[in-house]
Structure 1
Amino acid sequence: MYSFTRYLTAKKTVDDRALNRHVWDKMVEQLPKRPFSILEVGAGIGTMIERFNEHRLLQNVRYTAIDSEPANIDAAQQRLAPLAAHVDLALETIDLFDFIRREQGQRTWDLLIAHAFLDLMDVPAALPQLFSLLPSGGHFYFTINFDGATILQPTIDADFDALVEQLYHRTMDERITDGKRSGDSRSGRHLFAQLTAAGASVIAAGSSDWVVFAGENGYPADEAYFLRFIVQTMAQALADHPELDQARFDAWINRRHQQIDAGELVYVAHQLDFFGAIR
């Protein structure tokens, strides 16, 4: 049994390397000098809050973080307990759209953050609702938006590897949650036009690829677990897929786990970060 909260914990070091420095710096440059407010949606276990704290960006900030999973917010409360004395932080377990319905027209935030989250949604439908929580001129920071490349090395069988990647990406494009479209395997590139259509201007954008490999001392931190979770996610997404020989796919998954054991597996996922403002 794999733990999603452990996966999110293991992912932090991967994200730390991946986040685009140019986009991050532009976001930091635009933070107000006065007291200001941040809303993070799909906040997970609070790693972005930790990141802001590590960069000393939480002074004079009112930070609201929401996530629909109680286990994530429970983990965030434990991780962030040391900040409670000096950071104005509100954590809540709530569905995003329930939150929007409750707060729309009541409150706005100066900066909206969605980290590794937008590519799990119907972005064109979600953006206008998300932007309703920003004032005119408010900013957004949308990070780790998947953009169409899942690379696993070493090659096992080039043709079969390519088929697995193609079908895995298709599951993202066809994903339905609560009767609604909820995914896009090329979310990153599509965001440029989608943001413009939603009345936003992109100030900075850049790649934020995950790159995980084992060095002389093995995989960093808990990144072997991160890799196992990714491989298992692929296994679950493509289980009993009619276009795959299941026995061959099972052997392929087992081989990927063996490559992790041996410190051989290299994983790259192409993603994009965005910072901008609404008009």
Structure 2
Amino acid sequence: MTSKNPVKARHGLSLNVVMTIAVVVVAVLVVGGIMLFGGSDTTTGGTGGTGDSGDAAREAGGSGGGVSTAVLAPDGSHELTSAADGKVTIVEFLDYQCPACAGYFANVTSKVEKDYAGKVTFVVRNYPLDSHPLAVPAARAAEAAAEQDKFSEMYHLIYQNYQEWAVAPDGQQLSDDTARAGQVFLGYAERLGLDTAKFTADLDSPAVQARIDKDTADGKTAGVSGTPTIFVNGQKFEATGDTFADVDRQLRELVDRELAG
């Protein structure tokens, strides 16, 4: 039976699933009676997997039983917002073409990022899934922009315009058109005033790929097996509930407890 719980993470998405997410507003779409965010075998941020990855996460844990900062947010990690006191750190492992990640961005994480700016440190890490053909190209675009200090700006453009590059023109499946996506990302680079020649070169650079590989490896060490997976101060966020409003409330409650602790 397909779950209708939007907190379910995705290992992948069948190509018969439609995704249409309007900018920062709409997040849940149904195709053929199947809820976009249901049907996964792992829950977002809550059950990162078992076996080797789970053991690795425990071995990487800090004194409080969570995953260490060295694994989740090593030096040089991309921060959407930062707090001088370092009291609370949120880390999200994401896949840019993952519909659940786009839904979280539209309804949860972009709002948390805004409302807790200066109060928490919000780190994002790459975890592209093999089942999403444009996940790596999108990650490369974000990392290439980071080479010119525009990571946050590119991250936001990629998610705010998800429908433009992640979904096929017919609206009936996720896109696998790398050429089309590449042109869209180049347009974002131009919009951000980047050196487009450098941006294009960096897209295929070993340094950019190494960054993505490092993020993915750290995610596996932390026990990540689906996206999005969120950690708050080293602990996986256990989301329950049937709506994004539920997830948003639960995440804020957890962050607020950590801030007050």
TM-score by length of 1: 0.27
Bigger RCO of structures 1 and 2 (CA < 8 A, at least 6 apart): 2
**Bigger Rg, structure 1 or 2:** 1
Answer 1 or 2: which has greater strand percent. 1
